[in-house]
Structure 1
């Protein structure tokens, strides 16, 4: 969201935001004190104060009362509406980071504007509508729900900053100042959180605890499912661990011939799944395909923006895996090559690679693995096989062929 250089721009942005927020909050409190604002049934404190200001300025006519005051309150509502959009603005990016760490479905991880923002806005909009219907629009409950979750977010963020500076206390001399500032903020936000939770527990706080706990439990359930699946796939990866097979350069085929039949295999992080697809192709079509082209996309996420070194390590990791596949094919008499791309939208990059490769090798078919679970639940359909199915659908719409090969998991 911030232009480069991000750190200086982020500091300036935070300074402007904190200054404007402090000025606004301080000004409102000052108005309350000067005009002796007291709760009145059916009116907000802002409406009461601005009504008195209008009366004091000699604009207390019926026209002013029924014209200026609603206008001021309309601007206030518009400001709140703009503030409410911040969740939709940055929420999808938060979902993307959570998906990268497997806390939410992986198809939220793309940093592309179309998918992340579309999926993220739909999820948050549906959740907001559900909560609105559940609470029947009761503002008192919604304010408590908002307050508790906001200060919970602040507390967790500052706790993370405290943990970060404590772990890096040996990396610099200024760590204590940063740690102390984060700890001070943590103590303030935690105090407000505890007081709000205790005082408002019977006035909607219990609902906040229930909803937030349910969301956290769902995230842990998704994380556990991905970890279990990753452990199963790691067993398959272990079968093909080690360096690339030895190839006799004198007899092994070299460059793929575009005029020959070609199998195109999109590959991912798991070597076992990729080799499973390759072995299935050879088993189903023995001796039919003379060439094999492997396609890999390096997913650029928030960590990849740390610098060129991280991106170069990612490239080396992918190249090492692809060289293993190529060596295996050449050892078994098939010409092989690979293509690599990097991007924030893996499906889009796969489509570009597949399109150019199929144009280069017109007599080609694309193959990919599809995970099949022995125990089927709503999580398996929701969390897996989104990428290969989407690629297959797009290729079929273009009149190109793609076959999904089943791979049993669990």
Structure 2
């Protein structure tokens, strides 16, 4: 017996997989959505960590860009805090008016059209891959700040190892992974509050000299480079610190995992994130200026700051180490956002046929395993390509973030213009989104021009390739849908002259078990193929279907119930059609995420009831089979056939021809 068919080996493999990834979750558990959803504090940890952790690299990039003109850091800190609140407020409006999540992709699609939507969605996907890579790379940089230089050669392997750990954690489940990482978040918050407050209150005597330095620096620059030169210098530093704002959109994208009432939970989470990020980033700039921080090779600016501030404390070196270690660890938590929101954006695009439909599927743990695996694999590839360089990654990261930000602000501006007659506060909301649009577009243009040769070209190339692939995938699905629509037009309403058969099913009669999805020409074609291929062979027909819970329907108990009702209604139509064709007919169904496993179990039960039964299913067949067909169309029929035939049930696949 081959090992792959050995039940014992299979059982051992399943036990190992369950130990690593967790046990399945019950779809019909009435408390399932409550158990899996996040309260504001946990949402702040899981989604807000991305925004808060950007204070580890965003302010540093901006401060370094000032060069010798560090007196501008005070204004830069103020501008950064104000920008955080403007963008956060704008995304709070998105949460309010688009409460089912999806963020920038949904806003751009609904308000600017599907072309803008696919650009926004593709930029978001690349952005979330970069969220993972930047966060992990910056995490390792922070941790290795206190490790001897000779060990820095192991940075890249360590980043890849951390990416694999996060893949496993997220396949287990979002809430589980966040709960494990929550203590790291708490340590970061406590240690950084201590560091920042210490930086302010133990250096109050430096405020007056700092004001004089600002005045003299401004006077000197006005006489040398002029006001316009100072403005350009400031805008360059402000734009290159755009990484500070990355992650603000995460809450609106991940709204599906929020505890009810979702809108209030999402908006409260946004307040937590905006306040914490604005305070941390703004005060960091102030501390850099007060203490006169200068770069040290092999260390981040925050590590230099922590060493300087805690040097006089008892066990100060240990406290500084814990502070920066927690910063690095928080960056690892921030990588969660890529694994939480990236697969959700991918699933939304899959539902709209921009991505292979399999990326909308949920695993038995109710996680988007396919999306998680793709995001993690792409992140590892980028980490290897860039050798874990934060400088290279942050440029790529910021550009895509602000593509999505700009489209979102433009979409929301149009939204409030359209609502000007029904919303008395439309002008107030519109003004915020217009300001946000100007800010985001400005940062996007400056960052792209300034850093185009240093990696900006690569992120634009990758995003363009993703967009092109999306159009190819959408075109294929459109052609397939047109073919299926022709079947629907031909077969869903054809005349039947036979007498209606209302007799119950006979256990000893020959039975055709037909696997179906929704009521469509595809399923009717399969039924008629059974009639014509095996005339007068079968007396009974039992239709089997699974109400597949994917990311599109996994939004709440009501959506799952609606899905179940829809599938049941379709099955009843199939039974009615079969009885009008002269068969005795019935149906079986279940709600699940795994079609193959569930269908196999149902077919075994039906076969026990009707021993003289054969399983039939349809499968799309193309005239010229191409390499991408298996990726775009699930090979579910063949997987079911292999399982059932191994269990001794005859299974026949009937081809449904397509020209695409």
Instruction: Identify the range of structure 1 (347-356 vs 90-99) with the bigger mean alpha-carbon deviation.
Output: 347-356
- Counterpart CA distance in 2 for 1:345 and 1:172 is 44
Query: Which of these residues, 604, 621, 627, is aligned with residue 378 of structure 1?
Result: 627
Match of 2:218 in 1: none
Shift of 1:139: 2.4
Match of 1:283 in 2: 532
RMSD: 3.2
Correspondence list, 1:133-148, <5 A: 133-148=384-399
In structure 2, relative to structure 1, the CA distance for the partners of 1:178 and 1:386 (3 Å cut) is: farther
Match of 2:509 in 1: 260
In structure 2, relative to structure 1, the CA distance for the partners of 1:111 and 1:254 (3 Å cut) is: same
Match of 1:91 in 2: 342
Query: Which of these residues, 264, 273, 288, is aligned with residue 8 of structure 1?
Result: 264
Query: Which of these residues, 282, 286, 289, is aligned with residue 30 of structure 1?
Result: 286
- Counterpart CA distance in 2 for 1:170 and 1:401 is 64
- Counterpart CA distance in 2 for 1:216 and 1:318 is 33
Q: Is the 8 A contact 2:546 2:589 kept in 1?
A: yes
Match of 1:201 in 2: 452
- Counterpart CA distance in 1 for 2:297 and 2:575 is 76
> For 1:224, what is the secondary structure of its paired residue?
helix
- Counterpart CA distance in 1 for 2:370 and 2:357 is 12
Match of 2:25 in 1: none
- Counterpart CA distance in 2 for 1:47 and 1:408 is 64
Shift of 1:131: 1.4
Runs (5+) with no aligned partner, structure 1? none
Match of 2:615 in 1: 366
Runs (5+) with no aligned partner, structure 2? 1-256
Q: Is the 8 A contact 2:578 2:584 kept in 1?
A: yes
Correspondence list, 1:300-339, <5 A: 300=549, 304=553, 318=567, 321-339=570-588
Q: Is the 8 A contact 2:347 2:552 kept in 1?
A: no
In structure 2, relative to structure 1, the CA distance for the partners of 1:409 and 1:131 (3 Å cut) is: same
Instruction: Identify the range of structure 1 (168-177 vs 33-42) with the bigger mean alpha-carbon deviation.
Output: 168-177
- Counterpart CA distance in 2 for 1:307 and 1:265 is 30
Correspondence list, 1:56-71, <5 A: 57=312, 67-71=318-322
Match of 1:129 in 2: 380
Match of 1:51 in 2: 307
Shift of 1:255: 2.6
Shift of 1:316: 6.9
- Residue 296, structure 1, aligned to residue 552, structure 2: no
In structure 2, relative to structure 1, the CA distance for the partners of 1:58 and 1:313 (3 Å cut) is: closer
- Counterpart CA distance in 2 for 1:230 and 1:211 is 29
- Counterpart CA distance in 1 for 2:605 and 2:393 is 52
Correspondence list, 1:179-258, <5 A: 179-242=430-493, 245=496, 248-249=499-500, 252-258=501-507
Q: TM-score, normalized by length of structure 1?
A: 0.85
- Counterpart CA distance in 2 for 1:217 and 1:199 is 26
Instruction: Identify the range of structure 1 (30-39 vs 297-306) with the bigger mean alpha-carbon deviation.
Output: 297-306
- Residue 104, structure 1, aligned to residue 104, structure 2: no
In structure 2, relative to structure 1, the CA distance for the partners of 1:132 and 1:35 (3 Å cut) is: same
In structure 2, relative to structure 1, the CA distance for the partners of 1:317 and 1:121 (3 Å cut) is: closer
> For 1:200, what is the secondary structure of its paired residue?
helix
In structure 2, relative to structure 1, the CA distance for the partners of 1:189 and 1:407 (3 Å cut) is: same
> For 2:621, what is the secondary structure of its paired residue?
strand
Q: Alpha-carbon deviations, 1:115-160, whole Å to 9, x = none? A: 7432222111111111122223332211111222222233344444
> For 1:368, what is the secondary structure of its paired residue?
strand
> For 2:628, what is the secondary structure of its paired residue?
helix
Query: Which of these residues, 403, 407, 410, is aligned with residue 656 of structure 2?
Result: 407
- Counterpart CA distance in 1 for 2:630 and 2:299 is 50
In structure 2, relative to structure 1, the CA distance for the partners of 1:42 and 1:83 (3 Å cut) is: same
> For 2:354, what is the secondary structure of its paired residue?
coil
Shift of 1:26: 1.9
Q: Is the 8 A contact 2:614 2:650 kept in 1?
A: yes
